[in-house]
Structure 1
């Protein structure tokens, strides 16, 4: 298991200003006719309002995007009963008849020289998704203008956009994935023994390896660009990683599936049905959450309510998620 050091986190300093405030929330409506010509037709969610949020971290501009949403059944959270999860979801206003409302956030990192995208969403394979190309178009970008994609792990909701339509949708991008995840998700024996709900992930993993000749299998923590570093968050999958960006004394750590809505960070013992190693995932949360709280880490999380940006805070002996008060930062 990775050793999470204070230096590796190094967080919590105020963000720079964008347009007069630390966060710009932009919403744009796009019809299917306005979608980029290349690639598959957008899902119904893509024609709705497209939310965007931009922050500055030193020289970096980070744009929060979303591919859409899905409702996860209340039975998907081992460690609590479905009734307990539903009760918590109701109290947090994210309960739906079919489960907990999950969003699928992605993050675009720009420094003036490179555009790096963190994950590509499920692209229609789960729920009401497939909106990422339209979100990119809303800021004037096509997928072929992305220089690099970092895949935090090889679950379908993080890499579906790479291969939707059976094609390479980011043809000019270098691709970074942890070698342990590639090994796991392309292993025929593991695929043969996996439950049905993981079969899409195994199928997509094979397509990613086949369609992306610029794939780089990475080993452990490393810098993939100046100020953009991979951190090891093993547990949710064998090669689950996060990304830390840092510049000018400011930083942001993107934790992918370390945090799930409703259950985290309050209860580290509550898992999620897709976790490959539940004990390892809990052990990572047990280490990460208290350290993040003590350092005031600024965090981005894939499935927390859009834009997925906040902090883990210790409140009267219990950890909770605190959405960052963007409007009042300076």
Structure 2
């Protein structure tokens, strides 16, 4: 088992990062320390995709029953949108970048850059970016107006080779994305490759980004989808991107409508949850409810989400 402290601590993060602006009613960051590595979970708000997209291979009655049990709408459900900032050694690493200005029909998301600033994170201080994949809600923050000009010229963006190649001519035939989101995903990925192609640092299967920070391709959700594992002083944290969703603990077999290879995504999901249950690692995932910090416990043939006890 990991020797991670029983609850995350905020003591390693500077006071400026924890100051809450007067006009911010709900804090949008949560600090964790993994050995010598500082982690800040940043919320980019909430998306509201159609409810059927959470379980495209489930019958409507079963899906509705699960939504009822979770007190969620049967039409569109709230989907958290999280990214993290990691400080390891001399490097400041942004993992994913939120929605940005890509889709105004999600009015409760898209303020990632402002939330970084509220947390005291200077874009010019970011040395590296890791992309779990290139869906619009993961690259959009870097496409927002004025962001690229504030980033350092030597910025390194780590993404799997399979992911970068896929988005040159993406295939949506196995997804169940609404047509508007298909076109958005296609456009945002091409815009990103055009704007940041010279900054890409591609890897095939795995790469060490910084001391104790390793990104590994899993595939499934997209061909090059990746997860990031942090390890320091015997403590661990995994940022799982879009591999694990809230419904995954009750129904890991349910296919998400945004998955490009649903069967492989299910195999990846089960493999990662077994790993997390076995080693006691903290888990942070893009669409788990903020602050999205917790552990995975085995529960018979399924899994149980054990959220962190908040440390104020």
TM score, norm. by length of structure 2: 0.86
Residue 216, structure 1, aligned to residue 201, structure 2: yes
Residue pairs, 1:162-181, within 5 angstroms: 162-165=142-145, 168=148, 171-172=151-152, 173-181=155-163
Per-residue deviation, 1:241: 0.1
User: Which one of 288, 307, 313 corresponds to residue 291 of structure 2?
Assistant: 307
Residue pairs, 1:237-252, within 5 angstroms: 237-252=222-237
Per-residue deviation, 1:317: 4.4
Give secondary structure in 1 for the equivalent of 2:120. coil
**Structure-1 residue corresponding to 2:165:** 183
Structure 1's 277 and 113: CA in aligned 2 closer, same or farther, altered over 3 A? same
**Structure-1 residue corresponding to 2:252:** 268
Contact 2:10 2:31 (C-alpha < 8 Å) held by counterparts: no
Contact 1:30 1:49 (C-alpha < 8 Å) held by counterparts: no
Structure 1's 169 and 237: CA in aligned 2 closer, same or farther, altered over 3 A? farther
Q: Structure 2 CA distance, aligned partners of 1:154 and 1:200?
A: 12
Per-residue deviation, 1:303: 0.4
**Structure-1 residue corresponding to 2:264:** 280
| RMSD after superposition | 2.9
Structure 1's 71 and 226: CA in aligned 2 closer, same or farther, altered over 3 A? same
Contact 1:191 1:199 (C-alpha < 8 Å) held by counterparts: no
Give secondary structure in 2 for the equivalent of 1:99. coil
**Structure-2 residue corresponding to 1:28:** 20
| Alpha-carbon displacement from aligned partner over 1:210-269 (angstroms, at most 9, x marks no partner) | 2122111221112111111012221000000000111111111111111112x2122221
Q: Structure 2 CA distance, aligned partners of 1:241 and 1:152?
A: 5
**Structure-1 residue corresponding to 2:130:** 150
TM score, norm. by length of structure 1: 0.81
Contact 1:86 1:100 (C-alpha < 8 Å) held by counterparts: no
What is the count of residue pairs matched by the alignment? Answer: 299
